[in-house]
Amino acid sequence: MSIRTIITEPNKLLRQISKPVNSVGKEEKKLMDDMLETMYDANGIGLAAIQVGVPKRIIVMDISKDESKKEPRYFVNPVIKNKDPEKATYEEGCLSVPNQFAEIDRPSKCEVEYLDYNGEKKLLKADGLLATCIQHEMDHLEGILFIDYLSKLKRSMIIKKLSKKKSTAAIL
């Protein structure tokens, strides 16, 4: 396994729509292993393949609190089947939008159909943080970031801040 570089805003790649995977083969498993290691290293609870520059519909996740009891989850070609009309608000962050947080409303429950690490078809009923995280990651597959739900002003302030930080980091 190896840690890959996480792409951060502003970067056009994050706006790309990811493509479905034909089968869960060696290459996909290696990608999922690397993504999980990259996510743990960055202290994240989820990661979409496009965040490491690969436009495939693959997500890894681990929302477990206890560091010693890891519960990795893998989603290939996920499709949301059902969204609850009820909304829930969570303070969201994103490894591709470093150090920025905002409260976002999303359906509080959802059902997702996907292939697991072994390429087997699964259906998961999610609520709470899991439901929020799945929807946040599914957005990445469509080139959508949580800051897109904020006002234009707030979003542009965040992007300006991040691009400034990138340009100062470049001269250090």
By a kind-dependent CB cut-off of 5 to 8 A, residue 132 interacts, out of Ni ion, ligand GNR, none, with ligand GNR
Site size for Ni ion, by CB under 5 A?
A: 1
DSSP state of 56: B
Stretch that binds Ni ion, among 29-37, 74-82, 87-95, 101-109 (CB under 5 A): 87-95
Q: How far is the CB of 140 from Ni ion (least distance, A)?
A: 6
Stretch that binds Ni ion, among 25-33, 58-66, 89-97, 101-109 (CB under 5 A): 89-97
**Closest Cα to residue 17, out of 75, 63, 57?**
57
Question: Which residue's CB comes closest to Ni ion?
Answer: 94
- How many angstroms from the chain centroid is the CA of residue 82? 19
Q: How far is the CB of 171 from ligand GNR (least distance, A)?
A: 27
Let me know: does 81 contact 111? Beta carbons within 8 Å: yes
Separation of alpha carbons 21 and 12, rounded Å: 21
Q: What Cα–Cα distance (Å) separates residue 1 from each residue in 11, 78, 143?
A: 25, 23, 26
Residues classed as catalytic = 137
Separation of alpha carbons 111 and 127, rounded Å: 9
Candidate list 94, 131, 133, 158; residue touching Ni ion; CB under 5 A: 94
Separation of alpha carbons 107 and 105, rounded Å: 7
Q: Which residues bind ligand GNR (CB under 6 A)?
A: 44-48, 51, 90, 92-96, 132-133, 136-137, 140
Q: How far is the CB of 101 from ligand GNR (least distance, A)?
A: 8
Neighbours of 125 (CB within 10 A): 12
Q: How far is the CB of 36 from ligand GNR (least distance, A)?
A: 12
